[in-house]
């Protein structure tokens, strides 16, 4: 186990009707709020009315940044930061999934930064101070509700990049699984794929030990495997929604990555697909993952795949190791198929044309991964296999 510094300061209010704590918690930070949300589903569902009703009843002033994009853009961040400055906002409240939350995080950091907001995405070390922010989650996927990272897209430069700062962690997050009951099937599926990918990115690691973290990661994978299909078939199954939501938060708040080298190869590859083609992040991850697994399987990564197959998929441990590993990869592919996610890049409108350019771009911050290091040509091979 490697050394680590653990700090997960976000308070989580989990369960039905936890929105009742909203006004009390906001008042710890002030009385002027910027609401940040996406395409309007929270208006349809009645959540917007509920929130604004609570704010009004408690004399909390609020302004709104609506229409944050599924791959949130730096243009939205700029708008939000201006709104915060113009109105001396005390706390940013993101309502939605990772897109709204990530956008709110970078707005909160951009508020105190004098230059252009894109600078602090390109170079997180420029972030020195951050406005308090909080979240109300409506999609189990990115885990952004309980960590300090954010991903922002700049379509002018075709870049989708991660940034972060410890003070970008939400002060509190309200996680009410019933808010995910009305999600479209496709979003539930893509969100679940996103969670599994976060787990894979830290489970498959060059750190051979960290036994505890590996067993917890396997428990999280089993949770996604059990409840993803249930949530699709029975969208109002509380236990399914609750387990997926809590897994989304714990999968990427550090708990299973502390003490380990991490990969983040598939995310880096997928960010190119989203940046060039604006596809759904979770869909891109689900398409790439089995091909990435197949590509990196070799004599030195074999044992980890066997562990994965035996512990997560209950494959008989007495078989040939490569047979177990390949069966585990096949199970992974079948699982994503069972969620109704496309299984090839062509199905989401991506062809050979820009693969080489995207592969080059994917390593702009350096080679990918440690468990199996990937260079641009490796990424290109994985992209091609996924066509």
Binding residues for a copy of itself (CB under 8 A): 1-9, 11-18, 209-212, 214-216, 218-220, 222-223, 226-227, 238-239, 242-243, 246-247, 250, 255, 258-259
Q: How far is the CB of 18 from a copy of itself (least distance, A)?
A: 6
Q: Which is nearer to a copy of itself, 134 or 250 (CB)?
A: 250
Q: How far is the CB of 249 from a copy of itself (least distance, A)?
A: 9
| Alpha-carbon torsion (32, 8, 283, 375), positive or negative | positive
β-strands 91-96, 159-164: how paired?
A: unpaired
Q: Which is nearer to a copy of itself, 17 or 377 (CB)?
A: 17
How far out from the chain centre does Cα 300 lie?
29
User: What is residue 160's three-state secondary structure?
Assistant: strand
Q: What is the dihedral of CA 87, 143, 149, 218, to 10 degrees?
A: 170
Q: How far is the CB of 166 from a copy of itself (least distance, A)?
A: 11
The count of residues in the chain is 387
Output the CA angle 361-296-335, nearest 5 degrees: 95
Q: Which is nearer to a copy of itself, 76 or 247 (CB)?
A: 247
Which residues fall within 8 angstroms of residue 227, CB to CB, at 6 or more apart?
A: 192, 237, 239, 240, 241, 243, 244
Q: How far is the CB of 255 from a copy of itself (least distance, A)?
A: 8
Q: How far is the CB of 198 from a copy of itself (least distance, A)?
A: 14
Residue 148, CA distances (Å) to 108, 287, 357 in order: 12, 27, 30
Q: Which is nearer to a copy of itself, 240 or 285 (CB)?
A: 240
* CB 104, CB 66: distance < 8 Å: no
Q: Which is nearer to a copy of itself, 1 or 323 (CB)?
A: 1
Distance of alpha carbon 140 from alpha carbon 137, whole angstroms: 8
Q: How far is the CB of 227 from a copy of itself (least distance, A)?
A: 7
Q: Which is nearer to a copy of itself, 153 or 214 (CB)?
A: 214
Token duo for residue 61: 């002033």
Q: How far is the CB of 31 from a copy of itself (least distance, A)?
A: 23
Q: Which is nearer to a copy of itself, 22 or 350 (CB)?
A: 22
Distance of alpha carbon 172 from alpha carbon 136, whole angstroms: 9
Q: Which is nearer to a copy of itself, 3 or 351 (CB)?
A: 3
Q: How far is the CB of 302 from a copy of itself (least distance, A)?
A: 21
* CB 283, CB 190: distance < 8 Å: yes
Distance of alpha carbon 154 from alpha carbon 133, whole angstroms: 23
* CB 235, CB 181: distance < 8 Å: yes
* CB 87, CB 63: distance < 8 Å: yes
């Amino acid at each position: 186990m490697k050394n680590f510094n653990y700090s997960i300061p976000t308070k989580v209010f989990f369960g039905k009707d936890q929105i009742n704590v909203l006004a009390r918690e906001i008042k710890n930070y002030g009385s002027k709020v910027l609401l940040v949300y996406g395409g309007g589903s929270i208006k349809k569902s009645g959540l917007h009315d509920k929130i604004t009703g609570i704010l009004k009843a408690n004399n909390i002033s609020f302004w709104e940044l609506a229409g944050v994009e599924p791959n949130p853009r730096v243009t939205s961040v700029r708008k939000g930061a201006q709104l915060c400055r113009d109105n001396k906002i005390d706390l940013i409240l993101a309502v939605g999934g990772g897109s709204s939350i990530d956008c709110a995080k970078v707005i909160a950091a951009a508020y105190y930064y004098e230059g252009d907001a894109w600078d602090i995405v390109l170079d997180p070390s420029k972030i020195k101070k951050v406005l308090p922010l909080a979240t109300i989650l409506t999609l189990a996927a990115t885990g952004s509700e309980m960590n300090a990272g954010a991903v922002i897209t700049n379509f002018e430069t075709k870049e989708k990049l991660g940034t972060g700062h410890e003070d970008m962690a939400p002060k509190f997050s309200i996680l009410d699984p019933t808010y995910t009951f009305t999600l479209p099937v496709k979003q539930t599926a893509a969100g679940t794929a996103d969670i599994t990918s976060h787990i894979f990115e830290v489970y498959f690691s060059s750190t051979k030990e960290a036994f505890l973290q590996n067993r917890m990661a396997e428990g999280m994978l089993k949770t996604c495997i059990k409840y993803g299909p249930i949530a699709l078939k029975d969208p109002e199954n509380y236990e399914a929604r609750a387990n997926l939501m809590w897994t989304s938060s714990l999968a990427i708040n550090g708990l299973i990555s502390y003490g380990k080298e991490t990969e983040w190869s598939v995310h880096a590859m997928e960010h190119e697909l989203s940046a060039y083609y604006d596809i759904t992040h979770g869909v891109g991850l689900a398409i790439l993952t089995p091909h990435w697994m197949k590509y990196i399987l070799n004599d030195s990564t074999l044992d980890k795949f066997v562990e994965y197959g035996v512990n997560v998929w209950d494959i008989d441990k007495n078989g040939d190791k490569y047979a177990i590993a390949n069966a585990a990869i096949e199970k992974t592919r079948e699982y994503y198929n069972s969620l109704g996610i496309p299984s090839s890049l062509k199905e989401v409108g991506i062809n050979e044309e820009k693969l080489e350019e995207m592969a080059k771009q994917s390593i702009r911050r350096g080679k990918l991964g440690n468990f199996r290091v990937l260079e641009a040509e490796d990424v290109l091979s994985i992209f091609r296999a996924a066509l």
